[in-house]
Amino acid sequence: MNRTRALAAMLCVVAFAACDENAVQVIAGPAATARVKFFNFGVGAPGVNFYANTTKMTAISSTTGVESTTGVVYGGVGSGGFYSSIEPGAYSLTGKIAATVDKDLVIATIPGTIENGKAYSVFLSGLYNGGTKTSDGFIVEDDFPADIDYAVAHVRFVNGIFNAAPLQLIATTTTAPTLVDTIGGVIAYKSAGAFEAVVPGVYNLTTRFAGAGTNAPARTNVSFVAGRVYTIGARGDITVVSTTLTNRPFLDNTANR
């Protein structure tokens, strides 16, 4: 009986402590079971913060502790390239202007359903319309192998060039014996190929239009490390022939794991 009364008293103390306005809230719990990362591939788009419904998923802090007005700029990936955890469900994924002018104006809305235990990449894409202040966007699943294979690397190709015909990624080793690896099929805009195993090493990457013998966007000396997983994303304006302009066709390399 005494033990029962002591337990009851202790529970009362806990209950009152939880109700006290100065009580410490316990927020520990299981992490969200899905993951997402965000890219700004919108040609000419301003820096943005990405949101899932009303929850801000990316932001940059300044040295003063105040949120930066830079946001995720063109060619950038949010959160330093790391995934953010997110609960499964249907979302309205948006890019909102980070600058003081037009602060939090939505320039792209991407609907997406996030499934339990899966990973996703969200891309702001297309050509930014300065008049309507809108851009395009899409979401793809990052369906890389769950188990780590230290004998190979895994690579896939995402086509984020809004005005390009479907492209295919070709990887060629920089050292002898030369290995040529066609990674995935021909990928249309807003689409992603499957993650494929490649021999670890340093590669020159090229893309080609279906049936074409000449190269489209290319990139040299890209390292694929054993056990890692990579996304090669094409961005830019396919009509630009300059090798220095920001909006030129370009192959982006981001590690998924």
Task: Encode the chain (257 residues) as per-residue pLDDT tens digits.
Answer: 444 444 444 444 334 334 443 344 344 556 788 999 999 999 999 999 999 999 999 987 667 777 788 999 999 999 999 999 999 999 999 999 999 999 999 999 999 999 999 999 999 999 999 999 999 999 999 999 999 999 999 999 999 999 999 999 999 999 988 889 999 899 999 999 999 999 999 999 999 998 777 778 999 999 999 999 999 999 999 999 999 999 999 999 999 99
Q: Where a domain ends, among 142, 165, 182?
A: 142
Give me 108's structure tokens. 């792209």
**235 within some domain:** yes
Sequence-distant (6+) residues with CB within 8 A of 225 are: 153, 200
Alpha carbon separation from 113 to 13, 38, 231 (Å, rounded): 43, 15, 21
Same domain, 119 and 171: no
Q: Where a domain ends, among 142, 169, 197?
A: 142
Q: What is the total count of domains within the chain?
A: 2
**218 within some domain:** yes
* Domain CATH for 199: 2.60.40.1120
**39 within some domain:** yes
Q: Are 103 and 97 in contact (CB under 8 A)?
A: yes
Q: Which domain holds residue 210?
A: 144-257
* Neighbouring C-beta atoms of residue 48, cutoff 10 Å: 30
